[in-house]
Structure 1
C-alpha cells in the first residue's frame, strides 16, 4: 500500500501541480525522498523560506491556482510568514505545507514544535493538521478548494512526520469543480440605471480572479461608453496602459489630476479592486456628497479595503465582465460627449505624467524606467518589492498586458527577486525584469543563487542610493536634518552577482544604461545592474534636500 507521502505527491499532481518551492527540513525530507522524481513535479530548492513562500505566491498570481511551498517546522515556518502575508493581502491562492514532529510527541514540547493554528490565525484562510494518513487526500483537496474559492488566499497544512510514512488504503481524489458567483440580471440592470444617471463615472480595476478575457471585456465596455479606467494600487497590468480609456494608477504616485478626477466622480465602479487607503488618500477621495460606490467582488464581506458600497455585486471579475456586454443600450450622443470630456481630460493628464521629470544625479531612474518600458517586449514581465524606487516604476512604466506586473500591495520588501524567479519559471520565453532598491534586494538577495542554479535569465535592476529611502523620507519630513538608522553599507552588487556565477555591471550615468540593459536581455543567466542613484532623488517629484529645507 502507498504511504501518506506518496498520496500527498500524487494528490498534488492530480490538481495540476508541476512545481513546488521548498527549503528542505528533516521533518518531511526523508518521507518525501525520491517521490518528486517519480512524478511530474519539479522541486525548486530555495535559500530561505521567505523567498520560497514569495515564489509560491507569485506563482499563484500568475496562474490563478495555488502556488505550493514546503517548509520545515519552527524557524522554517516562521520564516515563511512574510510570503504568506503577501498572499493574504493580495488575495492570492497559495498552500504552505509544514513538516511537524511525529503525532506521539504532539504537545510534549518536542524540538521546534510550534502551534500552526495560533501562528496563522489572523493570516491564513484555513489551517489544518493531517493526523491520519487516510485523510491526506481529503485535506489536500479541501486546501485547494479553500485557497481558490471566494476571496482567494493562503492555506496552511501541517504534516506530522509519522503521517507521511504511514501506509494507507486511501486513494487520490479528483479535484473539486469550482465555479464562482455571477451577477444577477437585477444586479446588471441596477448598474445600468446608475450608469445612465451618472455624469462622471469612473472604473477602478484590480483584485482577484482576472484573466486576459476579463481585461479585454472591461476595455471594450469602457470604450463603448467612453469611460475612464484607473488601476488600483499595484494593479497596473490589469489594463493595457496605452488604451485610450486608461487614466492612471491609484497609489503613492497618483497624479494630482487623477486624484481630482476621483474626487469629482459621482459613480465609482470597483471591478474586483479592494480600494484601500493608499489608493484613496486614506479614503478621503471617496468621500463627499453625491458619490455612489459600486463594489464587484467574489466575497465582499472579506475584502480588505473600502466597504461603503451602495451596490455590492457578489461575483467574480470574470463572470461580471462577461455580463457587461448586456449592460444598457449605447449612450446617447450627448451622454457620450459628456463622459468623453471627463475621460479625455484624465487621459491627457496621464499621458502628460509620462514625460520624465528630471531628478538629481547623473543616473536618473526616470530615464531607466522609460528605457525599460520602451525596450521590453510586450510579453515582458516586471516585478518589484517595496521602497521609494518603485514610485518611478509605477509612474513611468507602461504595462501592456495582464500578468506582466508582479508587486505586493502589502509593501513587502524583498518581493521582487523571488517573484522574478517564479515568473521566469512559469514563462521561460518571456523576458523578466526585477526592480529593487538596495535595501529591498538585500532582504532576499540570497535567492540570486537559486536563479543561478536553475539558469534563469532574469535582469535585476538595483536602485542603489545607500539608504532605506522611504524611511529616510519620512524622517526628513517630520524631523528635518535628524536621520536615524537609515544609512546602508552596501556590497558592490555587480561583484556580488559575479560571486554567485551571475553577470553584473555598474551604471553611473543614464547615457550608459541602454547598452548595458540590451546586453542583460541577451544574457543566458541572471544579470544584475547596480544603478548608482543620487540619494537626493528621494521620489520622482521630490528631493531629499528640499524636504530638509521645508
Structure 2
C-alpha cells in the first residue's frame, strides 16, 4: 500500500518536471526539505541556490523571460525567507513575467497561534501577484501547483504565489504521474479588424508601428520584421524592448519615449497613424502625454490584455489579440502607404542619430563619460549577447545606446524600476541560455544590493560579466538635487568598494578600467575568459540627466 504513495515534495517535483521546468531558484530553508530531497533523488531539475531570496526571485524572473516558461522560486523558509521574495514578485508583476513562487508556510496545526516566524503571507502577496493562495489539503497540492503554472502563463503573464504548509511536503498521497498543463493561447485579430487596420495604415501619410513585449513572448520578431519590410514603415519599440527588432535594421528606430531616442520619439508624436502591437502605450513609454503620442494621431491598438487597449490614448480600432499572429495576418492585407516624404525624413533622422552616437564614442574626457563607455560596450558586445540593465542614471542613458541583434537580448526592470536587479537577472538569463554571453550593466550603488550573488554565479558555473559604471553617487537623485534643490546634496554621494577585487576574492576575474579606449577590450577579454568577471570603471560624476522633471519645482535658494 505504501509503495503506491509518494510524499508532497515528490509530487511537486513531478509536476515541475512534467511542465518542462528544468531549473529552479531559491535559498535553502527548513520548510520544504522533502522537495529538496526529491530534486536530489530525481536529478532532472537543476537548482541554483542564491544568497538572498530576492535575488533568487530576479533570477527566476529573467529565466522566465528567456524561456517563456514560468520561473520557479522556492521560498524555502516560512516567514522571513518568503517575505524576502516580495520585491521580486512586485518586479515580476509589473513586468508581466510569469513566475511561480512555492512559498513555505507554517505547519497547519500551528497556524493562527502566533507561531515562530508566522505572518499572513497570503495577504502580503495578494496585491502584487495574479493570485496568492494557501494549499490546505495534501490532495490539492499537485492540482493547485498546476493551476499556478496555468495562471502564471495565461493571458497577460504574471507571478502566482502558492503557499504550502510545512507538513504538506511530508504528507503521503497517492502516486501521481502528472502531464504538462495545456495553456490556452490567444489568436490573431478578427478578419474584420485586420481589414480595418490594413485600410488605416495603407492610407496613412505618416505611419508608425509601435511594437512591444508581446512580440518577445510570442516569438514574433520575424513577423514584425516582415510587416515593416512589406509596408516600409518605421517601427519603434516600447520601453525595455529595444531587442524587438534587430539593431541596425533600416526600418527600426529603436526605443521611443522618455527613455528612448529623439528619432523614435518624434515618430510617435508626429505620426498620423500609429499601429500599436503587443504594447500598452504605458507610462514608461509615453508618460501618458501627448508629448510622446500626438493628440490627433489615429490609433489601432492590439494587445493580449483587452483592458489595456485604448486605456491611455483613445483607440480608433481596439483589438484583443496576439501581436505576432496579428502582424502575420496584416502583412498580406495592407498595402505600402504613400509616405515617401515621411520615409526620407526618417532615414535622414536616423543618419543624424548615428552621427551623434559616433561623436559620443569619441568623447575623450576622464573620468570616462558614460556615453563613451556605452559606445565602447556597444561595439564590443557579441551579436548573440544578452544584456541586463539596472535602474539609475547611467542605465537610463544606456536604455537606447546599446546594440541588440538576436531575439531576447535585453532584460530590464521595466515598470517597477527597482535598483539591484541586473546582476541577479544576468544569472537567471545565463541559466536559461548557457551558450550565450551575458553582460549586466549597473551603477556602483546598484551592485551593492546583490554583490554576494557574484559568488552564486561562480559556485554554479554560470559565468557572467558585470560592468560597474562607478560615478560615486545615487545618480538619479543627485541630478534632481542639483537641478531642483540648489545643489544641496544629502545622501547622494557614496563610496563603493573595488568590486573587481571582490570578484577575485570570490574566485572570479576583476578588471579595472583606467583610461578611455579600454572598456571595449576589457569586455572582450572578460567574455573570452569564460569566467565571472567584474569590470569597474570610474565615470564622470557630472554626466547626469534628469528624467521626471514633472515631479519637482525649483526651490528658492534664499528660502
Q: TM-score range by the shorter chain?
A: over 0.9
**How is 1:39-118 mapped onto 2 (pairs within 5 angstroms)?**
39-71=43-75, 72-118=77-123
Decide which moves more: 215-224 or 148-157. Answer: 215-224
Compute the displacement of 1:152 (Å). Answer: 0.4
Which residues of structure 1 form unaligned runs of 5+?
542-546
Aligned residue in 2 for 1:382 = 387
Compute the displacement of 1:257 (Å). Answer: 4.1
Compute the displacement of 1:286 (Å). Answer: 5.1
**How is 1:95-494 mapped onto 2 (pairs within 5 angstroms)?**
95-169=100-174, 171-178=176-183, 179-208=185-214, 210=216, 213-285=219-291, 288-301=294-307, 306=312, 308-328=314-334, 330-331=335-336, 335-357=338-360, 358=363, 360-409=365-414, 410-494=416-500
TM-score by length of 2: 0.91
Distance (whole Å) between structure 2 residues aligned to residue 348 and residue 505 of structure 1: 35
Decide which moves more: 384-393 or 248-257. Answer: 248-257
- For the Cα contact (< 8 Å) 2:215–2:221, is it kept in 1? no
Deviations 1:431-456 (A, max 9, x none): 11110100111111111110110122
CA pair 351-183 structure 1, distance change in 2 beyond 3 A: same
CA pair 396-171 structure 1, distance change in 2 beyond 3 A: same
- For the Cα contact (< 8 Å) 1:389–1:437, is it kept in 2? yes
Distance (whole Å) between structure 1 residues aligned to residue 378 and residue 537 of structure 2: 17
Deviations 1:219-275 (A, max 9, x none): 111111111111111110111121111112124443334333221112112211222
Distance (whole Å) between structure 1 residues aligned to residue 62 and residue 330 of structure 2: 29
TM-score by length of 1: 0.93
Deviations 1:276-314 (A, max 9, x none): 223224422355543122221111215897363222211
Deviations 1:456-481 (A, max 9, x none): 22111101111100110111111022
- For the Cα contact (< 8 Å) 1:227–1:339, is it kept in 2? no
Aligned residue in 1 for 2:551 = none
Compute the displacement of 1:540 (Å). Answer: 11
Deviations 1:79-127 (A, max 9, x none): 1111111211111111011000111112222111222331122211111
Would you say 1:35 and 2:39 are equivalent positions?
yes
Compute the displacement of 1:136 (Å). Answer: 1.5
Q: How many residues align?
A: 541
Distance (whole Å) between structure 2 residues aligned to residue 501 and residue 130 of structure 1: 42
CA pair 70-35 structure 1, distance change in 2 beyond 3 A: same
User: What value does the CA root-mean-square deviation take over the aligned residues?
Assistant: 2.3
Decide which moves more: 29-38 or 79-88. Answer: 29-38
CA pair 412-356 structure 1, distance change in 2 beyond 3 A: farther
